[in-house]
Amino acid sequence: MRKTREILRLKWQQCRSHRAVVKALDVGLGTVSELIGRARRAGITSWQEVEALSEEELEARLYPPPSTIGPRPLPSPAAVHIELRRKGVTLRLLHEEYFVSNPNGYGYTNSSSCTTNGQSG
């Protein structure tokens, strides 16, 4: 967390460029970019705001726990197979219907794959 504070200090208090921060702290450019982005998404936009936060508060704001959406339902392979026999039915069409009824469901590339949790389907 020490480098986190130092990255934000160099960036906002000393107005250094991303590359200057990278060189000064020997961190990756992506690290600096990601940290600044996280800070902005957390509503932190100045060094004064960072100074006012404890280490725990800063970490909690920059790295919030991931949201839990819940399990995503899988399309039924048997139903897909039967539906594909009908004229004019495509995987794309079936996926669109699946996604309408399951907005948090798998994207097209995942719904058409043959593996689920390392098992063949």
| Stated pTM of the model | 0.57
User: Can you give the pLDDT at residue 108?
Assistant: 67
- Please report which confidence band the pLDDT of residue 109 belongs to, taking 50, 70 and 90 as the band edges: low
pLDDT in tens, 19-30: 999 999 999 999
pLDDT in tens, 34-59: 999 999 999 999 999 999 999 999 99
pLDDT higher than threshold 50 for residue 113: no
DSSP string covering 15-78, please?
Answer: ---HHHHHHHHT--HHHHHHHHHHHHHTT--SHHHHHTS-HHHHHHHHSPPPP---PPPPPPHH
